[in-house]
Amino acid sequence: MGHSPLVREAFQLMEKVAPSRTPVLLLGETGTGKSLAARIIHDLSPRSGGPFQELHCGGWSEEELQAQLFGQGAPGQGGQEPAGLLEQAHGGTVFLQGANALSLPLQAGLLRFMQEGEVERPSDGHTRRVDVRLIAASPHDLAPAVDRGLFREDLYYRLGVFPIPLPPLRERGQDQALLLDHFLERLARRRGRRLELSPAARRGLLAHHWPGNLLEMANLLERLTLLAPGPLVDLAEVVPYLAGVPGRGPAAAEEHALSRLEEIERREVMAALERHNWVQSHAARDLGLTLRQIGYRIKKFGLAPTIDHQRRRGSLA
């Protein structure tokens, strides 16, 4: 979802590659929508009626991941080993999320499968032909891992025939406002509770860096839906939920987010007061605040009319 040039370019690449059998490598930070992109490619392909199997490669031991992919697990009913995801997805698509986490032996097995299109279960020794389209994803370019000997060069070139970069949320411009409204609408349908963002809260969210991208935005709004005391969410209620700055500890990250957003809030309140000639009731209505709330913010930020504004008011009087 979105209209930014980077998103349009990514979707055009998905449309071009979807009808083919070509492997795809999705590149993007955590939370940029790689799973959704893989599903879109599958749904736009001639394989859309077939299975779509997704496997997160991180967090498994090598033996567990081997069993997940190739079916070399414990025997099931009838004494046969269960089919792995590659075999289960015959006629469809397998999406490997976090392919950078594959060990070198598993990389060798995956490369052999891509070359031969066959899976062999050691329990019966039979080779099975499998027709599967592979889509892999990595949070970063795999080339440095190839240079360090952590990722096979031959597999890298086979998986990376058609790379598609997915942009981080901070580079998507006006898409951020569109996505805020999308997630709020989806949560209203799912949770039965509709939230509205005050202008200051909305501007504060749009100024956020979003290190967790779409996933962070969706999770933040869901927490607000569950915990916000009222239907109208103000900037002060948003600040505690914002993620920290990468590379800083939790306390420093929270302090950074708080100071940055408090400065945004201070400017918003000051601008509204200036627009309404320091009539607090009018400025409060503009910001979606009560008179008591704007009075608290004036005191909190130590706001007062500028000398130029006082002169203008004096001339009008």
Q: Return d(Cα 94, Cα 79) in angstroms, integer.
A: 26
Give the model confidence (pLDDT) of 110-131 as tens digits: 999 999 888 876 566 677 888 9
Distance CA 217, CA 157 (A): 34
Report the relative pairing of strands 232-233 and 132-138 from DSSP bridges: unpaired
Q: Average of pLDDT values for 21-31?
A: 93
Query: What pLDDT shows up at residue 20?
Result: 94
- Tell me the pLDDT tens digit for each residue of 82-112: 788 888 999 999 999 999 988 999 999 999 9
- Ranges 31-40, 53-62, 307-316: which has the least confidence: 307-316
Residue 248 has pLDDT above 50, yes or no: no
Q: List the alpha helices (DSSP H) in 124-198.
A: 143-147, 153-159, 175-191
The first and second tokens of residue 133, run together, are 């389209």
CA-nearest of 301, 305, 219, 211 to 261 is 301
In the predicted model, what is the mean pLDDT of residues 291-304? 83
Please state which of the ranges 16-30, 151-165, 177-191, 233-247 shows the lowest mean pLDDT.
233-247
d(CA 3, CA 9) in angstroms, rounded, equals 10
Rounded to two decimals, what is the model's pTM?
0.73
pLDDT for 250? 38
Greater model confidence, 177 or 245: 177
Name the residue with higher pLDDT: 184 or 270: 184
What are the structural domains of the chain? 5-167 (3.40.50.300), 173-316 (1.10.8.60)
Q: In this predicted structure, what is the pLDDT of residue 254? A: 43
Per-residue DSSP letter, 174: T
Q: Would you say residue 229 has pLDDT above 70?
A: yes
Cα 169 to the chain's mean position, in Å? 8
Q: Give whichever of 134-143, 230-239, 300-309 has the largest mean pLDDT.
A: 134-143
Residues 171 and 205: beta-carbon distance below 8 Å: no
Q: What is the pLDDT of residue 181?
A: 93
Lowest mean per-residue pLDDT among 90-94, 109-113, 232-236, 263-267: 263-267
The pLDDT of residue 270: 84
| Closest C-alpha to 100, from 161, 144, 41 | 144
Least confident of 18-27, 53-62, 117-126, 153-162: 117-126
**Would the CA dihedral through 207, 212, 213, 216 be positive or negative?**
negative
Whether 50 has a pLDDT exceeding 90, the answer reads: yes
